[in-house]
Every structure is written in structure tokens, then in C-alpha cells.
Amino acid sequence: MPFKAQARLLLLRALARALPKPGRPTTTHPANLLAIRPDHLGDLLLTAPALRQLRQALPHARITLLVGPWNQEAAEHLPYVDRVLTLPFPWFDRAPKPSPWAPYALLRREAHRLRSHGFDTALVLRPDHWWGAILAAGAAIPRRIGYGTPESLPFLTHALPPRLDLHETVLSLRLADAALPDPLPEDPAPTGPTFLIAPQERAFAQEWLSRHRVRGSVIALHPGAGAPVKAWRSEAFSALADHLATEQDATIVVTGSSEEETLVEAVAAGCSHARPLRLVGASLGQLAALLERCRLAIGVDSGVMHLAAAVNVPTVRLYGPVDPARFGPWGDAPAHHRVVRAALPCVPCNRLDYPLQELSLHPCVRAITLEQVLAAARSLLPAGAGVG
């Protein structure tokens, strides 16, 4: 173990000894449960089956979901929680820290805030989130359930053996089982992510499509990614749009956040004849409503692809550094989703933090060919598919 990690582990163990010890849990029937999910859209949506399991088994319990502000809108579209709280989780806010001690000062303040809610059970849903385990301990939550990584273990009352080889949804489902007095039987047809679309969001999608005189099939392309190493070539997306517009007689819509407008415009400008529409900067609910009207969504490994699956749209996803066995499509994946990867020996490496100057040395997504993606799309959407 590197020296820095050893020092941190020693510090965390000392902190665990210094924290006040809450009383032992008096019940195995949670009545006021806190689910901690610090990361971003895709990870949150993959947690939805576990939240569904908790709601089914605990219909009268109060379930609170604690997420970063960046995920508040998504969390409020999940049907299984009673309340959403936010916290700017360190290292997930994608912002520089003012000092090395800032995450711990935040932890102290937030633990004090959570203490007033009287939670009886906490689930630390990210397997390696030792900061969340400390938060639950500092908030004096009697039952604290998570994965027993060395950093988290001193702060948990119920630790499951770490299994980082399993899919993220399976890991969350196992934690939900551990919180229940009687685990539910295994679902023979596992459900995927869930996202409830509001009537006004569906009205937005209808009006947007009508305003652009869209008739027939719609195919969405989402070229944006949360890390540069996960990006495909914009010119390849343009060529893909040209092929699909012709083969499927489809309207192509290129989507992206406000920060991705330049990329969206580059894909649209690179098309020879597709003339794609652009949807940039829509709310998450509006984007979900538009995706719901599509016959297919194609993009790199991103939360938006999980969002498409959550509204029952087939997807083609381009994976590189991230292992799809852990973070790929969930549910009835073989029937409705395709994963495309380059045949490189280093895939997957599960690293996203490569400096920009090193990206040319890591072509795991850029090496995916247009022909691979077209073949995957054709397998889900044969020529002559009907209206979306």
C-alpha cells in the first residue's frame, strides 16, 4: 500500500476511535433510512432497483436519498424515495479544494446537520466511499451498512465483503438486502433504472418535435462524456448520423448539456446530408421526455445512456476505460442494449484521470470503428423501422 494511503488509513482509524459511540441498534426494521449516493447520474440511476427493493419491503419507512447538488433533479425523478437532501461531496464536485482539510471541515458540519434528522439506518451505496461512512458515523446513525473496505470498515456497524467485480446495481441490491429484516426473493426478471417523467416534460418534448416538424423515427446521438478519455471522434458521430438518417429514414437529434454545445455543433456541422436537430441545455426531465420518443439512443459511456434505458429506449454504448460488467446496461440488457468496445489489450483499465496531453496514448474509445457502431445499431433497429 502506498505511503499516502497508509497514512490516511491510520488517520481514519484514529478518527473512528475518537468519534462518540452511538447506542446499539434497537431494531432491524428501518423506519427512517438514509441512502448515501455521492456520485453522478449513471451511478444514481443504477441504484434505482435497490431503492425499489427497499420501498417494496419497507412500505411505511421514510427513505431519504442524500446526493450531490448535481444529482438533485435526477433524484427527485425517482419514485421510491420520500425526501432528497443534497451535499457537495468532496472529490465528486469536480472542483479544486481550498485546502486539504476542507473535506473534513465539511464532514463535521454535515454530520451535525444530519444528526437532527434522527436516522436509524444508513446505507453507504458507493462501495469505496469511506467519507460517506465517516459521515454516517459522525451523524450518530445507529445502523451503518456498507462495504468493508479498509478505510470504511472502522465506521460501519454492518460491513459486507468488498466485491468490486460485481455490477454496480448488484452491489446496491446486496446492501438493500442487508438492511432488511427478511431479504426479498431474487427477482427473476430484474428491473433496470427508473425515471419518472412529469406531464409538463412530455408536453415539452411534444411541442419541440412538432415545432421542428418531426415525423417518423427519431434517433438520438449523445456525444458528450464525463471524462475526455471516454470521448469518441466527433467526425465519426457525424458519419454515423449520415448513415442512420439515410438507412432508417430517421430524424437525428444530437443532444448535450450547455457545456457540450461546441461538441454538439461540431457533430452537426460535420454531417454531409443528415441535417440533425440539436437539443442543448434542456433540463434532465425534458431530455428524458425527448429520449422517450426515440427509437434508439447512441452515445459513449455516460449517465445519459442510463437515462435512455430508464425510459425504456434501446441504446448502443461505446465503452473504453470503464468496465461494462460493472457499469454497463442493467436489466434486460441483451435484448435492448449493445455495448461496443475496441479490441485493445488494455481495455478496461478503469482509469479516467488521464491528463489531456496523454490522451493520444489512450485511444480505447476513439479506436472504435464506425462499422462496429453501425452494426450494433442495425441489430436493434432494422431498416424500415416504424414511427417513434
Provide the pLDDT confidence category of residue 193 given band limits of 50, 70 and 90. Answer: confident
Provide the pLDDT confidence category of residue 185 given band limits of 50, 70 and 90. Answer: confident
DSSP assignments along 291-311, one per residue: HHT-SEEEEESSHHHHHHHHT
Residue given cell 468496445 in the structure block:
341
CA-CA-CA-CA torsion sign (286, 291, 294, 300): positive
Provide the pLDDT confidence category of residue 137 given band limits of 50, 70 and 90. Answer: very high
What was the pLDDT predicted at 23? 55
Cα distance between residue 72 and residue 75, in whole Å: 5
Helix (H, G, I), strand (E, B) or coil at 84: strand
- When mean pLDDT is compared across 27-36, 129-138, 180-189, 347-356, the lowest value belongs to 180-189
The predicted model gives 200-226 an average pLDDT of 96
DSSP assignments along 252-296, one per residue: EEEEE-GGGHHHHHHHHHT-SS---EEEES--HHHHHHHHHT-SE
Residue given cell 451505496 in the structure block:
125
What was the pLDDT predicted at 100? 83
pLDDT above 70 covers a percentage of the chain that reads 90
Residue 339 above 80 pLDDT? yes
DSSP 192: -
Instruction: Compute the radius of gyration of the chain from its Cα atoms.
Output: 22
Domains (range + CATH), the chain: 18-179 (3.40.50.2000), 199-380 (3.40.50.2000)
What was the pLDDT predicted at 191? 76
Specify whether the CB–CB gap between 66 and 89 falls below 8 A: no
Q: How far apart are the first and last CA of the chain?
A: 53
Dihedral-angle region of residue 350 (phi above 0 means left; psi in -120 to 50 means alpha; beta otherwise): left
